[in-house]
Amino acid sequence: MATFSSSTFFSTKPRVDFSTEKRVNSCNTLLFPSALSFGLKKDRTNGFRGGVGSVSSFSEAVVIDGEKVSDDDIGERVLKVGLICGGPSAERGISLNSARSVLDHIQGADLHVKCYYIDPNLNAYAISSAQVYSNTPADFDFKLESVAQGFDSLTEFAEHLATSVDIVFPVIHGRFGEDGGIQEVLEKSNVPFVGTRSKECRAAFDKYDASLELKRQGFITVPNFVLQGNEVDDSGLSRWFLDNQLDANSGKVVVKPTRAGSSIGVTVAYGVADSLSKVREIISEGIDDKVIVEIFLEGGKEFTAIVLDVGSEFDCRPVVFLPTEVELQSSVSTDLSEKDAIFNYRRKYLPTQQVVYHTPPRFPLDVIEKIREGASILFKQFGLRDFARIDGWFLPPAASISSSETNNYGRTESGTILFTDINLISGMEQTSFLFQQASKVGFSHSNILRTIIQRACLRFPRLASHSSESNKSPRKSKLGQQFSEREGPRKVFVIFGGDTSERQVSLMSGTNVWLNLQVSGDLEVTPCLLAPGNDIGSRTVWSLPYSLVLRHTTEEVVDACTEALEPARVALTSHLRKQVMEELAKNLDNHNWFTGFDISDEQPVKFTLENWIKLAKEVQATVFIAVHGGIGENGTLQSMLEAEGVPYTGPGYSASKICMDKVATSLAVKHLTNLGVLTINKEVRRKEDLVKSSNSDVWREIVSKLQCETVCIKPARDGCSTGVARLRCAEDLGVYVKALEDCLPRIPPNSFTKAHGLIEMPVPPPELLIFEPFIETDDITINSVSKSKNQNEGLLWKGNSRWVEITVGVIGKRGSMRSLMPSVTVKESGDILSLEEKFQGGTGINLTPPPLSIMSTEALMRCKERIELIANTLELEGFSRIDAFVNVDSGEVLVIEVNTVPGMTPSTVLIHQALAEEPPMYPHTFFRTLLDLGSQRFV
C-alpha cells in the first residue's frame, strides 16, 4: 500500500557537464534531457546557484524528433511559442495532458516550443519538454526546485517571456488560466498571447455573471440562485425553490461552483437542505466560495460547440464547427450516484461507456443552425478571441422551461436552446472536442493548433512575418488510395479495440501510437478497430478515417462507423461540413500561411479479420498491435499474422500465450528463485463455483491455503487493470462474487469493509479468478507543494517491509531484451492502482527512477538484471512491461505479471522510462523504434 500527495526531493542531486549537456549520474533522479538546469537550487534572495557553477539565465534546448536545437540554431523566421500549463485548479492534470498534446502537434522546423509550468501556489518555472510528458504534475511538483528554473515573481516570469518567446499559448484550465489571471500577467508586460483578454475572461468565466450577461443579451437562461461566502442565504434559496415550483424537500437541482471550470465540483442535489449541504461542501473544500444552484434540465440534451475566429488582426469573424451532442448512458450499476447523471469530471476525461458523443448532434437541422448562430453571437458579444468552446442544452418542446417575453433567443419550432458555459481554453487532449470537431471540417491536430496560433499572431505587427510562413501539417490521409498502392511510403496498420475490459484503454493506446507514427514522412499509417465478436476469423475490423478515431470508447467508434454509412446521416454531415468549410475558407484563404484543409471526408472500410490480414500481407504492411487482452495478447492474433508472414510488434505467439495466463507466467519463471526472481503463490477458482459456494467456506479455504490474512483477487486471463481488488473477509468476497454474478461493470467505492475507490470490472465476467496473498508495502507519502516548502519534509517512507511496487518496460530483440529504467508506482488512494492511476493522464504518480532515499544504485542495477532475466527466460521480444515488487536492499524481484501489449496511452509510464534513456527517446522516436523492431521480425 502507498499513499501519496506531491512534494519531496531526492537525497542526491545529479551532476551535469554543461558543455556536453549529458548526465553524469544517470540513476539519481528523473532525466529531463533538454533542460540545462540540473542541480540548480533556487535561492529566493540570491537568484540561482548550482553545484557546477552559477548560471544567470535558463536556456532550454528545444527537441525536434529527438534532436536538440539550441536558440542559436533558431532562425529569425522561426516562431518561438511559450507553452504554459499547470495552475492551481483541480484540472491541472488535464492541463498537462493538453500541453503534451499541443507540444506533440505544433513542434517543427518552423515553430519551436519552450515549456513553462505554474504550480499550485502560482510560482512559475521554466521546465523541460520531458516534464510535460509526465503522467501528472505530482510526478515532478516535489522536485521543481532542483530540476527547473524558478522565477521570483510572476512579473519576473513575464519579463522573461517578453525576451524569450514570440507568443505565449496558455494551456491552463480553470482558475488562473480561464479567469483572466495569466492573461493579466502577460498584458502588463506586453507579451503576445493566444486567446481572450483578461477582462473578457473574467466576465465569461464566472458562470453566474455570464448568465446575467446572457439574459441581458436576450438569451434564454437556466433559472439559478447564487450563494456566496460562509453565510449562505437559506431563506433566499427556499423562496427561489418556491418561485420555480420546486419541492423544497425533493426538488432536483444542479449545484456547481461559479469559478472552477466546466466540470469540477458539479453535483446533483435534492431539495433545499441537500442543496445547502452541497454548497457548503464546495466552499469548505476550497473549490470556490461562490456557488450557484440551477434547475435540473430533465429531458434535455447537452451539447458543446467549438468556435474558431478566422478574422484578421482585431476583426472578429467567428465560425462555429459542427456541434457535439453529449449523450449520457444509463448504468446498471448499483451506485446510487449513477441516477444523478451529469457530465462530470470523470465522464469527461476517463474513457467510459457512460457517455457517448455524436458529431454533428442528432438534433433537427434548425436546432443545429440555431446553436451555431447563437454560439457565434456569444463569441462576439463576450469579446472572445482566437477560439473557445461553448456548452449548452437543447430542450425538446415537452421539456422546455418558461421564460420572460424579452428573453426569447434560442426558441425554435423544434424546441429551446440554452447556452450555459463558456470555456476560454478548451481541453486539448488527443480526443478532445476541439480535435473531434476540427477533424470533421478538414483540420488535423497540427493544422487546427497552428491555425489558432497564426490567427493570434495577426494581432501583433512584429509577428506579421511569421504569418507568411506555410502552415505545415501532417500529410493528408489517403485511405481510399492506400490499399492499391504498391510503392511509396511503408504501410503500417495500427490495430486496437477488441472486446476485453481494457478495450477503452486500447483505443487510447492505438490513437496515441497512430498519431505519433503518422508524423514520419516515410510511413502511411492506417488506424484500425477490432470490433467485438465471437468467431475469430470473421470478426470485423474497421479501417478508420481520421475523424472517426477520435472517440472515447470502442462502442462509440463502431456506432460512428455504422452511422457514417447511413445515407441520411451521410447527407446531413456532408451538408453541414460543406457549409462550415466554406465559411472557414472564405476568410482563411486570405491568409498566405493557410495551406488548406488536410483531412478529407472519407468513409470507414469494413473487413473480416482474415481479409484484413490478407490485405496487410498484400500491401506489405507491418501491424502495430495495441489490442490489450483477449486475442491481442493471448497469442491468437500473433499466430494468425505469423501464418501469413505479416510482421507485427511485440512478443510472438508462444510468449504471448504464456504471459496472458498469470499462473503459466509464474510456472515459467519459478526455477529462477535462486537467481533472485520470486513468484507469488496462487489459488485458482472458477466463477461458477464461487457463485454456488458459501462465501465463508471459500474464504476459510483460501486464507488457509495461502497462509495470509487478506488476499488479492484478479482475473486469471485478463488485462492488468480491471477486476483487481483487495479482500479482507468473507463479506468482501461476497460483494465481489455478487458483482461477478450480476455482471456489474464496476463495484462502487466503499463497498467493502474498508474504504476503497471505484473498481472497474471485466464485462463479461472472467471464468477463472486468481487469489493471491496481498503483498504489503510501506506507505510512501509526499507532502503537497501547496502544504510544504521544506524539502526535509518531502519524501516520507518508513521502509519497514523493504518492498516497493515497480513497473518497468523491456525492449529489444529476442534473447537480448534490456530493461528500461524502473518506476516506483504509487497509489494515491486505496490498496490497488485504479484504472485512472494506471492509464489516465492527470492521475497516478510514478517515480522514475526509484529515489536513492528508497533504493540504492546497486540494488537498482541488480533489479534491472533480474528484469532482463525474466524477459529473456519468457522469450519476450519487441517490447513488454513487467510489474513486480522489488526488495530495495537486495534487488530481488517478486513477479506480479507480464504485459506483452502494455498500455501506450499519452501518459504511459513507458514514455517516462524511454525519456530516461541515454540518449532520450521522445514519443515519436520511441514508437518508431518499437515499430522497426516489429518490421524486422522475419528479417
Contact 420, 224 (CB under 8 A): no
Q: Cα–Cα distance between 560 and 606 in angstroms, integer?
A: 13
Q: How many CB atoms lie under 10 A from the CB of residue 738?
A: 15
> What average pLDDT score do residues 690-713 get?
94
Q: Which pLDDT does position 178 carry in this prediction?
A: 95
User: Tens digit of pLDDT for each residue in 545-603?
Assistant: 999 999 888 988 998 899 889 999 999 999 999 999 999 999 999 888 898 999 988 89
Percent over 90 (pLDDT), the chain: 62
Q: Apex CA 137: angle with CA 133 and CA 140, to 5°?
A: 80
Q: Cα–Cα distance between 917 and 12 in angstroms, integer?
A: 19
780 by DSSP, 3-state: which? strand
Cell numbers at 47, concatenated: 537568484
Q: What is the DSSP letter of 744?
A: -
Give residue for cell 466560495: 289
Name 723's Cβ contacts closer than 8 Å, sequence gap at least 6. 501, 713, 714, 715, 759, 760, 761, 762, 765, 766
pLDDT at 768 over 60: yes
What backbone phi and psi angles, to 5 degrees, belong to 581? -65, -35
Burial class (CB in 10 A: 0-12, 13-18, 19+), 412: middle
Name 804's Cβ contacts closer than 8 Å, sequence gap at least 6. 2, 777, 778, 780, 824, 850, 854, 855, 885, 886, 888
Give alpha helix (H) positions in 260-364. Answer: 271-284, 345-349
Q: Cα–Cα distance between 618 and 613 in angstroms, integer?
A: 9
Q: Which pLDDT does position 648 carry in this prediction?
A: 98
Give residue for cell 517478486: 894
Q: Which pLDDT does position 13 carry in this prediction?
A: 29
> What average pLDDT score do residues 671-688 get?
95
User: Tens digit of pLDDT for each residue in 226-241?
Assistant: 998 877 788 999 999 9
Q: Which of 267-276, 418-427, 787-796 has the lowest mean pLDDT?
A: 787-796
Q: Cα–Cα distance between 470 and 430 in angstroms, integer?
A: 23
Q: How confident is the model at residue 329 (pLDDT cuts 50, 70, 90)?
A: low
Q: Cα–Cα distance between 837 and 827 in angstroms, integer?
A: 7
Q: Which pLDDT does position 794 carry in this prediction?
A: 59
User: Tens digit of pLDDT for each residue in 292-307?
Assistant: 999 999 889 999 999 9
In 3D, which of 203, 106, 190 has the Cα closest to residue 459?
Answer: 190
Contact 898, 679 (CB under 8 A): no
Q: What is the DSSP letter of 51?
A: B
Q: Residue 866: what residue type?
A: R
pLDDT at 322 over 90: yes
Q: How confident is the model at residue 122 (pLDDT cuts 50, 70, 90)?
A: very high
> What average pLDDT score do residues 859-882 get?
98
Q: Which pLDDT does position 520 carry in this prediction?
A: 87
Q: How many CB atoms lie under 10 A from the CB of residue 269?
A: 21
In 3D, which of 209, 235, 227 has the Cα closest to residue 292?
Answer: 227
The interaxial angle of helices 198-205 and 181-188, nearest 10 deg, is: 170
Query: In Å, what is the CA distance from 693 to each residue of 252, 686, 699, 711, 768?
Result: 43, 11, 10, 18, 15
What backbone phi and psi angles, to 5 degrees, belong to 560? -65, -35
Contact 795, 851 (CB under 8 A): yes
Q: Which pLDDT does position 74 carry in this prediction?
A: 55
In 3D, which of 340, 186, 376 has the Cα closest to residue 253?
Answer: 340
Q: Which pLDDT does position 392 carry in this prediction?
A: 95
Q: What is the DSSP letter of 879?
A: E
The pTM for the full model equals 0.85
Percent over 70 (pLDDT), the chain: 82
pLDDT at 73 over 60: no
Q: Cα–Cα distance between 272 and 235 in angstroms, integer?
A: 9
- Torsion sign across C-alpha atoms 336, 337, 340, 346: negative
Residue with the larger pLDDT of the pair 774 and 55 = 774
Residue with the larger pLDDT of the pair 813 and 19 = 813
Q: Which pLDDT does position 480 carry in this prediction?
A: 36
Cell numbers at 920, concatenated: 532520450
Contact 823, 807 (CB under 8 A): yes
Q: Cα–Cα distance between 868 and 893 in angstroms, integer?
A: 11
- The rounded Cα 587 to chain-centroid distance in angstroms is 33
What backbone phi and psi angles, to 5 degrees, belong to 415? 150, -165
Q: Which pLDDT does position 42 carry in this prediction?
A: 36
Q: How confident is the model at residue 261 (pLDDT cuts 50, 70, 90)?
A: low
Phi/psi class of residue 86: alpha, beta or left (left: φ > 0; alpha: ψ in -120 to 50)?
A: left
Give alpha helix (H) positions in 841-921. Answer: 857-873, 909-915
Q: Cα–Cα distance between 153 and 244 in angstroms, integer?
A: 48
Phi/psi class of residue 290: alpha, beta or left (left: φ > 0; alpha: ψ in -120 to 50)?
A: beta
Q: Cα–Cα distance between 934 and 878 in angstroms, integer?
A: 6
Q: Which pLDDT does position 487 carry in this prediction?
A: 60
Q: Which pLDDT does position 624 carry in this prediction?
A: 98
Give residue for cell 488457509: 704
Q: Residue 559: what residue type?
A: D
pLDDT at 379 over 60: yes
Q: Which pLDDT does position 435 carry in this prediction?
A: 97
Q: Quote the strand ranges of 332-434, DSSP E.
A: 355-358, 387-395, 411-412, 415-423
> What average pLDDT score do residues 923-927 get?
94
pLDDT at 534 over 50: yes
Which DSSP helix (H) or strand (E) runs through 667?
helix 662-669
Q: Which pLDDT does position 504 carry in this prediction?
A: 86
pLDDT at 76 over 80: no
710 by DSSP, 3-state: which? coil
Mean pLDDT of the chain: 84
Q: Which of 180-184, 255-259, 276-280, 396-400 has the lowest mean pLDDT?
A: 396-400
Q: Which of 104-113, 134-143, 167-176, 345-354 has the lowest mean pLDDT?
A: 345-354
pLDDT at 158 over 80: yes
Q: What is the DSSP letter of 907?
A: T
Q: Which pLDDT does position 69 carry in this prediction?
A: 55
Q: Which pLDDT does position 674 carry in this prediction?
A: 97
Residue with the larger pLDDT of the pair 143 and 697 = 697
Q: Cα–Cα distance between 305 and 434 in angstroms, integer?
A: 9
The interaxial angle of helices 636-643 and 653-660, nearest 10 deg, is: 170
Q: Which of 1-15, 323-337, 493-507, 711-725 has the lowest mean pLDDT?
A: 1-15
Cell numbers at 720, concatenated: 492488468
Q: Which pLDDT does position 27 carry in this prediction?
A: 32
Phi/psi class of residue 574: alpha, beta or left (left: φ > 0; alpha: ψ in -120 to 50)?
A: alpha
Q: Which pLDDT does position 827 carry in this prediction?
A: 67
Q: Which of 213-222, 402-411, 889-898 has the lowest mean pLDDT?
A: 402-411
Q: Cα–Cα distance between 696 and 694 in angstroms, integer?
A: 5
> What average pLDDT score do residues 327-354 get?
49
Q: How confident is the model at residue 152 (pLDDT cuts 50, 70, 90)?
A: very high
> What average pLDDT score do residues 829-844 get?
47
DSSP secondary structure letters along 668-699: HHGGGGGGTEEE---EEEEHHHHHHS-HHHHH
pLDDT at 792 over 60: no
pLDDT at 244 over 60: yes
> What average pLDDT score do residues 136-150 get?
83
> What average pLDDT score do residues 909-928 get?
91
Q: Apex CA 67: angle with CA 61 and CA 69, to 5°?
A: 35
Q: Cα–Cα distance between 236 and 937 in angstroms, integer?
A: 72
Q: Which pLDDT does position 71 carry in this prediction?
A: 57
Residue with the larger pLDDT of the pair 156 and 556 = 156
pLDDT at 16 over 80: no
pLDDT at 56 over 70: no
pLDDT at 255 over 90: yes
> What average pLDDT score do residues 187-195 get?
97
> What average pLDDT score do residues 684-709 get?
95
Q: Is the peptide bond before 567 cis (omega within 30 degrees of 0)?
A: no
pLDDT at 30 over 70: no
Q: Cα–Cα distance between 378 and 420 in angstroms, integer?
A: 11
